[in-house]
Each structure stands twice: as C-alpha cells, then as structure tokens.
Structure 1
Amino acid sequence: MHRDDGTISLYVVLFAPSVLLLAGLLVDGGLAIHARQRAADIAEQAARAGANQIDDAALRRTGKPVLDPARARAAACAMVTDYDATVTGRECDADTRQVRVTVRLTVRSQILGIVPGLGSFTMTSAATAEPVTGNDAP
C-alpha cells in the first residue's frame, strides 16, 4: 500500500501562490482599468468645462470663439478639484484656442498589495477641448 501523506499539502503549497497571483491580477487589473477610464472621464469633463469659458468681447469682435485662458484654466482645475480624493495630481493649461487637462489617480492594490512595491499604482490620462460654434461643427 502506498502512502500519500503530504501529497495534497505539496499541491497546496505549489498552487496557492499561483492562484493568489492570478486573483490579484484579475482584481487589481480591473481596478487599474477602471482608474484609467475614470481619469479619462475626469480629464475630458474638465477640458470641456474649460472650453466653455469664451472671451465674449473677442467673440463679438471677430465672430470666432476665443478662449479666455485664465478663466478656462480656472474652470478646468475647479472641475477636477470637485471630484473625490482619488485625484492625486492635475495639470490644467489653456491658451486662446484650446484647454489641456491631465489627471492622475492613485489606487491602492487590493490583493497584490501584499507584494512589496505593489501597494498602489497611478493612472494618468489627458484630454484636450476647444470651443466650437454651430458654424464650426463637423
């Protein structure tokens, strides 16, 4: 008669880390994808908010939408600030033609955080918007 004592323990010791790694990649990978999409959404919404800040005097004078860079920058950054505390960095820039917004989100790992150096990760996304009038629309 064969003795199989410890065979199952050996399989558990060998396969448990692999299963834990795969679960970590699944859960934390999903968090990374969600963070990337959220950063893109925040950046796009902020850029649109900045693109709404048209210089009325220049519009009346030229008939073309021209941004007020200071107001556009302030509106874009204010919109990013209104989001929750997961936003860990932002850059807002504007000129008379367009608004550029970059957003960074930091997310804490749920499973892979037990591995040193994988406790959190940062996702970055950028968006650009420019004012468009009914005559300029594609």
Structure 2
Amino acid sequence: MLILGISLSAQLKAGDLILINGPLGAGKTVLAQGIGKGLGIDDITSPTFVISRTHKAVIPMIHVDAYRLIDTENPNLYLDDLDLDTENSVTVVEWGGAESARLSEDRLEISIDRTNEIRQVEIKAIGARWDGFAL
C-alpha cells in the first residue's frame, strides 16, 4: 500500500481529491502515508480523533478520516465545518463516501478489499482531470 501511494503521488497536483474506502485494517492510512511520502511528507498518522490534518509541503496534503462523521445526523455539515482548502492541496479522505465525493467532480475513488488473503485494490477515476489515468 505504501508503494502504491508513492506511485500514485507522482501524478497528483493541488486540487486533487482521493477517497479511500475499505474495512478496518485494510491499509487506508498506509496508502495515505505513501501518498504523503511521495509528496515529501514523512509524518502522516491517522487523523481518526482530530478528523483532519494539514501537512505542509510543496504541494500540501490534507488528510481526513471521515469515519466518525459517517453516522452523524448531517455528515455534509460536519465536513463543511472543517473548512478544507481543497483547491491548494491534495486531499485524501479515508472513509470518503458521498459527502466527501461532493468536494470535487474530479476524483479518484480507491476501494480496498481484504475479504480474501490477498488485498485487492480498485481505483476508479472520475472526471475529466483523470481522463487517460493509468498506473
């Protein structure tokens, strides 16, 4: 997952949105750490309890863990309250559902499946920004 994140980071620019979904322990945070490492950020930890962290770099990275917002009465409102600077940063959202998808029409939606012994990753490129995307 770390290597996948590093590879993915080479194609990222400010304004990009990446949504990562999968069960607990699937590797969402490790993938985010790889993205951060590729952007020159080494101190990525899970923002589960603070919900959002901004990491400064040439291209800043906003790392959001929306897990605690999922079952709230209005997750859209709570996400808006974070006042994320998504235009000037790469934004990575763990547990990013429909409320997070509305942050950008152009995004990568990454699903991690660990039902079997082998981790399977599906990357869905959405929007014109990602036309022709390949890893």
**TM-score of the superposed pair, with normalisation by structure 2:** 0.23
Greater helix content:
1
Greater strand content:
2
**TM-score of the superposed pair, with normalisation by structure 1:** 0.22
Task: Please identify the structure whose Cα radius of gyration is greater.
Answer: 1
